[in-house]
Amino acid sequence: MRLILKNPVGIATCSANGKLSKKGSEMSDVGMVTGADIYIENGIIREIGKVEVPPDCEILDVSGKTIVPGFVDPHTHAIFGGTREREFAMRARGMTYSQIAAAGGGILDTVSKTRETPKSKLRSQAAKRIDRMLSWGTTALEIKSGYGLDFKNEIKLLEAANELREESIPDIVVTFLGAHAIPPEHKNDRETYIKILTDELLPYIQKKSLAQFCDVFCDEGFFTVDEARRILAASRVAGLKVKMHADELSSNGGVNLAVELEAVSVDHLENISAEEIKALGGSDTVAVILPAVAAYLRGRPAPARELIDGGCAVALASDLNPGTSMVDNMQTVMFLAVSLNRMTVEESLNAATINAAAALGLSDRLGSIEVGKQADMLIVDADDFSYLPYHFTENRITNVVKNGTVLEFS
């Protein structure tokens, strides 16, 4: 299959110039190319430039339009039962996320709704979310477990994620987040639950190849740094790569552990300290920030400026989940990153593409428009890609190109 995208106004390539991510000031450059077409063969970008049309080649005239890489959403909890609008209203009346969690709400509320929902329903509800995400431009995403919190239900979620991985158009990466919270039945003996994670779930996940990453919610009221270290050590033995939720509610040393373990990414970082920013800036661990969370929790936004100025590779993600981010749209996330986290529009695009792919360890294949990469691209009906975060309620993406196939959305 051959395809030429002809006469775009510009192509924001988001190329990292041979590196796996863009760090610090490199994030200001979106690698804009003008006066070029894109030639795609069998789902791979073959040429960027003025291309002679070969025989049997589909031509898509994209005059007046801009092309950007498909968005990668590297942190979602897209499979869950129920919703939590009541907690949203409770927080608006002054209760905090931690107070609601300590009273048995929060994650544990979604756990009980998820446990009672059959796998087929969880899967079909998530499939609808993924379709919406694709229409907003997300061509690859991560899905975490973490609302099962016992053997049977964590496996149910991982199996649903793997079924979605088979049947969905976007690429899907699966993360095991059994360490999302201590389940109510082990409230008074957390050690037993940690042993279920390390000695039962992780070996089974390895045997059945159910996940690529392991994540731990390392924060006040959830898992300590020492517990995270044990769980992540066991996950390495099971062949999984490391991610962490850290510094969302407090600064407790999780980032230093992520750097020490050479985690692929460390996510949240609303309360990261200056020393931790320094450590992260000197590492290859991607800093994933989730701007919708601060908006939903009325909290402090992650210090994107300090992270970028400190030399970090910053990525953006939706954190789609029923508690702290009912956001499935990376254009909205880019808007929030610019307005709340004070990123530039150029930084927000690199953070939603090449650096987001790096946060999944996939930037050798995804996240930028370069010869040899997978042809995942968005055709934007605007002469400047800034239109995407600027008017995020209107979807200006007319076509998503996924693996070289043109999908139409408006």
Q: Beta-carbon neighbour count of residue 67 at 10 Å?
A: 25
How far the first Cα of the chain sits from its last, in Å, is 23
Binding footprint of ligand NIG, residue count (CB under 6 A): 13
Crossing angle for the helix pair 151-167 and 119-135, to the nearest 10 degrees: 40
Q: Taking the complex as a whole, how short is the minimal distance between the CB of residue 323 and ligand NIG, in angstroms? A: 3
Residue 323: contacted member of ligand NIG, Fe ion, none (CB under 5 to 8 Å, by partner type): ligand NIG
The three-state secondary structure class of 11 is strand
Give the range of 59-67, 227-235, 320-328, 387-395 binding ligand NIG by CB under 6 A: 320-328
Pick from 46, 129, 241, 245: which binds ligand NIG (CB under 6 A)? 245
d(CA 367, CA 285): 17
From Fe ion, ligand NIG, none, which one binds at residue 374 (CB under 5 to 8 Å depending on kind)?
A: none
DSSP code at position 310 = T
* Closest listed residue to residue 288, CA positions, set 261, 262, 264: 264
Letter string b/e over residues 118-146, b meaning 16 or more CB atoms within 10 A of that residue's CB: eeeebbebbbebbeebbbbbbbbbbbbbb
Which one of the spans 34-42, 196-204, 313-321, 337-345 is the region binding Fe ion (CB under 5 A)?
Answer: 313-321
Interface with Fe ion includes 219 (CB under 5 A)?
no
Query: Does 321 interact with ligand NIG (rule: CB under 6 A)?
Result: yes
Distance in angstroms (rounded) separating the CA atoms of residues 79 and 124: 9
H or E element, residue 204: helix 202-208
CB of residue 123 vs Fe ion: minimum separation in angstroms?
20
d(CA 203, CA 185): 22
Q: Which of residues 347-376 bind Fe ion (CB under 5 A)?
A: none
Of the pair 319, 376, the CB lying nearest Fe ion is at 319
Question: Measured from the CB atom, is 66 or 110 closer to Fe ion?
Answer: 110
Query: For ligand NIG, which is the closer residue by CB, 67 or 79?
Result: 79
| Partner touching 324 among Fe ion, ligand NIG, none, CB below 5 to 8 Å by kind | ligand NIG
Q: How far is the CB of 293 from ligand NIG (least distance, A)?
A: 5
Closer residue to ligand NIG (CB): 107 or 338: 107
Instruction: Determine contact, residues 368/22, Cβ cutoff 8 Å.
Output: no
110 binds, among Fe ion, ligand NIG, none (CB under 5 to 8 A by kind): ligand NIG
Q: Which partner from the list Fe ion, ligand NIG, none does 8 bind, CB cut-off 5 to 8 Å by kind?
A: none
CB 322 within 8 A of CB 292: no
142 belongs to the binding site for Fe ion (CB under 5 A):
no
Q: Is 346 in the site for ligand NIG (CB under 6 A)?
A: no
Strand (E) or helix (H) holding 252 = none
CA dihedral sign, ordered 319, 293, 16, 61: positive
291 lies in the binding site for ligand NIG (CB under 6 A): no
In the bound complex, what is the minimum distance in angstroms from residue 245's beta carbon to Fe ion? Answer: 5
Q: Answer yes or no whether residue 319 interacts with Fe ion by CB under 5 A.
A: yes
324 part of the interface to ligand NIG, by CB under 6 A: yes
Give CA torsion, residues 143, 72, 329, 255, to 10 deg. Answer: 70
Q: Which is nearer to ligand NIG, 31 or 146 (CB)?
A: 146
Interacting residues toward ligand NIG by CB under 6 A: 77, 106-107, 110, 217, 245, 248, 293, 319, 321-324
